[in-house]
Structure 1
Amino acid sequence: MRYVLAVVLDANTFVPNNANVAGACKESDAETLLLTFKDFALEFSFSKTPGGERWYADSLRLTYNSSARILEHAANQGRKVTLSTDSRELLFPTPVGKSYSCPEETIIELAEEDAK
């Protein structure tokens, strides 16, 4: 996150219990999960591998308002910002019919879409 003085800082937040969740599993080869909560939207796009044996997240997209309280010193206040993963990523590969559990914290690099 770029701040007014060109300093890059991290900001941490958690998905609240009252977050809105949307998505569907229609048994196709691509699905989306959307979590929305105050000033933030986190979208996971999932796809099956070409052989159909695994699911993976092929993109993560975070959209937020730069005026959110947690980002009080961010540059360009009041701007809607969208960050996303590189489209070539295969995140969290998991066999079809199984679930994924993170063995440890995973850091995922996001870049501003306009900057790509």
Structure 2
Amino acid sequence: MAKIGGVVYLKLFIICATTSSLVDSLTLPNLATSKPRHTKFSSSTTEPGSGSLVTPTSSTASKDQSGVALYRNIDSNSQATCILLKTDALVEVKFKLHNLEEQADSFIPEKVLVDGNCKYEDAQLLRIIWTGYNLEINFAKTPGGEMWYISNIELTVSPDLPQFHGIQTRGKPIKLYHRKMEIATPVGRSFKCDEVDIDLVTEESDHPPPGLRGTLLLRLLQVQPFMYKSENFGPTFECRGQKQFRDETAPIAVGSTLAIAVLMTVTGYGAFRYFKVKNVQYNTME
């Protein structure tokens, strides 16, 4: 009886240790901490050197033959490039009109107003404005300062554009948001990817029209905030490595599930054997 119980407990210990190590391996290598910090921006910020959101700072945009445009935000204090974005971007806005789903698309053109805020050490903002559209991309650092990432995206669209006629907006602009962390990248390096699709959703407080949603499509993307020493992109951080990591999580999850299933089976068998042996010994004594 004691020998059987010892074997069962030994098996349980081995399986528990294996399961714990598998679960511990499911950590993101790109994040220094699970609680990023945020700096809130105000649309009325006009302090010198902050990259005012009201008065445009010096900025340039150029476009190559492939349709990729380069957008540069320059810090108004140091006159150095602080955010650099290269992409062939498309904004899709979907909505319902007369119970039918409609879609309005707009490529981000070459000639835009590039503005931003590079005042803070741990947070920066890039604003791109073209006819009827205002796109704000917020960047932040993890608390340790090792990684930067997109912390928030906000798209504002004028309902006066012809493609949005008929939408009931109560005289308010169309607003779409993305509040999730995206493209975590080491500080000092630029993120590069052939295509990044970011979903945009509404917030109930805006009282959005029915079926409103959107997508920001960033093709041939390369982006880097928190630039201080160079006018060009730093070493690239390819998105292929991130995709490979996500693909490897599937077998790890399957292995964890299998280990848990084995643990439950062995536990059930051990309990069955314990009560069976105990019952046999009791009957023998009688």
- Global fold match (TM > 0.5): yes
Equivalent position of 2:142 in the other structure? 49
Does the 8 Å contact 2:149/2:181 carry over to 1? yes
Q: Does 1:111 align with 2:204?
A: no
Q: Output the amino acid matched with 2:167.
A: A
Deviations 1:68-103 (A, max 9, x none): 13434x522664111101x3x111211101111123
**3-state SS of paired residue (1:51):** coil
Please report the TM-score for the alignment, with normalisation by the length of structure 1. 0.82
Equivalent position of 1:75 in the other structure? 167
More helix per residue: 1 or 2? 2
Does the 8 Å contact 1:67/1:79 carry over to 2? no
How many matched pairs? 112
Task: Report which of the two structures shows the higher radius of gyration computed on alpha carbons.
Answer: 2
User: How far did residue 115 of structure 1 move?
Assistant: 5.5
Does the 8 Å contact 2:128/2:136 carry over to 1? yes
In structure 1, distance between residues paired with 2:119 and 2:172: 34
**3-state SS of paired residue (2:100):** coil
**3-state SS of paired residue (2:111):** coil
In structure 1, distance between residues paired with 2:167 and 2:99: 8
Equivalent position of 2:159 in the other structure? 66
Equivalent position of 2:7 in the other structure? none
Poorly superposed stretches of 4+, deviation over 3 Å: 24-27
Does the 8 Å contact 2:117/2:124 carry over to 1? yes
Tell me: CA distance 1:90–1:115, structure 2 relative to 1, closer, same or farther (3 Å). farther
Point out the more displaced range, 43-52 or 61-70: 61-70
Q: Where does the alignment leave 5 or more consecutive residues of structure 2 unmatched?
A: 1-93, 209-286
Tell me: CA distance 1:115–1:91, structure 2 relative to 1, closer, same or farther (3 Å). farther
Q: Does 1:90 align with 2:181?
A: yes
Does the 8 Å contact 2:155/2:177 carry over to 1? yes
Tell me: CA distance 1:66–1:10, structure 2 relative to 1, closer, same or farther (3 Å). same
Aligned Cα RMSD in Å?
Answer: 2.2
Q: Output the amino acid matched with 1:110.
A: L
Q: Output the amino acid matched with 2:199.
A: E
Q: Where does the alignment leave 5 or more consecutive residues of structure 1 unmatched?
A: none
Identity value in percent: 32
Point out the more displaced range, 76-85 or 52-61: 76-85
Please report the TM-score for the alignment, with normalisation by the length of structure 2. 0.36
In structure 2, distance between residues paired with 1:7 and 1:54: 43
Q: Does 1:31 align with 2:31?
A: no
**3-state SS of paired residue (1:46):** strand
In structure 2, distance between residues paired with 1:110 and 1:38: 19
